[in-house]
Amino acid sequence: MKRIVWNSLDEAERRTALARPAQSRADELRRGVEQIIAAVRKNGDAALRELSARYDRCALQAIEVDEAEFAAAEARLAPELKAAIREAAARIDTFHRATAPQPVAVNTATGVRVERVLRPIHRVGLYVPAGSAPLPSTALMLGVPARIAGCREVVLCSPARADGTCDEAVLFTAREVGVHRVFKLGGAQAIAAMAYGTESVPRCDKLFGPGNAWVTEAKLQVSGDPEGAAIDMPAGPSEVLVVADAQANPVFVAADLLSQAEHGPDSQVILVSPSSSLLDKVSAEVARQCAELPRGAIAEQALAQSRLIEVDSLEQAMEVSNRYAPEHLILQTATARDLLDLVESAGSVFVGAWTPESVGDYCSGSNHVLPTYGYARSYSGVSVASYQKQITVQELDPNGLRAIGPCTATLAAAEQLEAHRRAVTLRLAALGTQL
């Protein structure tokens, strides 16, 4: 990991120090995704089978998972894993129900009632990656809030293995959280199928979930097409920023950094601390622990573009963090909660030495589908609200129109929208009120 002294850098060097690994949207990738989307739109299921053979190296017979496959997956899954999935789902459900939007009704003037009503998005598409490893936890994080929101149809796509089957844990989780239909599809072709529909895959209104550069590019393309589908958020590689002081345990800090570095070679991890001694200890501990990891080679590639940043104070550390706007922010300091008020931009925050980021990935109850690549400055993680439409309603009685009609007419006249003004004044005249 590259060592940096923050106050020795000029502004251009600071921007470089906090730069993410180049997010791949090269012309070749863009054109490749465009071709995949065009093929799926033109040839439907036939294109899905051809692309699955090319990229996933499997010959799909049936694209959709059937009842026998769900039953076989549940039978093969270890009881302790099924119990863990149910346990995690319960906590995720508890948190997401407590934080779900609520209907609102308020009288803004006498006779003027304004409301907010909630309606679920009709059909949503969830994407669960299964590249170097399957991610049943993503099925939990996407499926539970969709169920709470009341979406009428929840579709899930996850790549098939070489034998044409999906991961057993993903299938079990999908059923456990109420997903209605599962398709053995991955990559940009899965995004295209859910955005536009095929003979087998229904067209979805909004797409959710993380993925590789091809999936991310496909989501961006379909979200920019009026005939495509909305998406949860822009996203990039996984990342974590740790703020730690001299009292932090370097073993814990190193473990947290590596927990994100092992996601993929384009992940990024950053440690910010006013303690030079801690930075030294963590650097050595990262090397020691990385050598023991099964995915150590992947983590090493991520570490090559990661940072150890020395600052003058914890307050300055928080300034660096807010500037970076991390997907995951870990506060490992003696008074970690005191720093929470200084957090302005982060996807999810983990407070104190006993709160590893891993618990948020799996079962604390919060959602792990979070904005990355700096989008935490303006986006939030997936929640029940992500699956709902918030519709405002207003209702006036005659006294209400008398009360706010003149204000409306004045503002409409200022904008030179005479029809707007008359829609009010004609009604006021019918009530015997003249402006």
- DSSP H or E run through 222: helix 213-223
Residue 248: count other Cβ atoms within 10 Å of its Cβ.
24
238 appears as a binding residue in the annotation: yes
How far apart CA 250 and CA 258 sit, in angstroms, is 12
Q: How far apart are CA 24 and CA 30, in angstroms?
A: 9
* Strand ranges of the sheet holding 104-109, from the earlier edge strand across to the other edge: 104-109, 112-120, 388-396
357 is in an annotated binding site: no
Catalytic site includes residue 122 = no
Assigned token pair, 15: 């921007």
Catalytic residue, from 239, 285, 328, 357: name it: 328
60 near 48, Cβ under 8 Å? Answer: yes
Residue 332 DSSP SS3: strand
Q: Is 276 annotated as a binding residue?
A: no
- CA-closest candidate to residue 211, choices 188, 184, 182, 181: 188
Radius of gyration of the chain (CA): 25
Please tell me which residue in 69, 327, 357, 368 is annotated as part of the active site. 327
Residue 263 annotated as lining a ligand binding site:
yes
Assess contact for 388 and 398: CB atoms under 8 A: no
Taking the CA atoms of 125, 126, 131 and 136 in sequence, report the sign of the dihedral they define: negative
**Which residue, 166, 160, 200, 210, is CA-closest to 53?**
160
Whether residue 327 lies in the annotated active site: yes
Q: Is 247 annotated as a binding residue?
A: no
| Strands (E) located in 305-387 | 307-310, 328-332, 348-351
Is residue 86 helix, strand or coil? helix
Half-sphere CA count of 354, side-chain side, radius 13 A: 0
267 annotated as a binding-site residue: no
Locate 353 and state its tokens.
Answer: 């030495």
420 annotated to a ligand binding site: yes
- From the list 328, 367, 383, the residue with the least C-alpha distance to 350 is 328
Does the annotation place 61 within a ligand binding site?
A: no
Annotated binding site for substrate: 238, 260, 263, 328, 361, 415, 420
Annotated binding site for Zn(2+): 260, 263, 361, 420
Annotated binding site for NAD(+): 127, 189, 212
Question: Any idea which residues carry the catalytic annotation?
Answer: 327-328
Annotated binding site: 127, 189, 212, 238, 260, 263, 328, 361, 415, 420
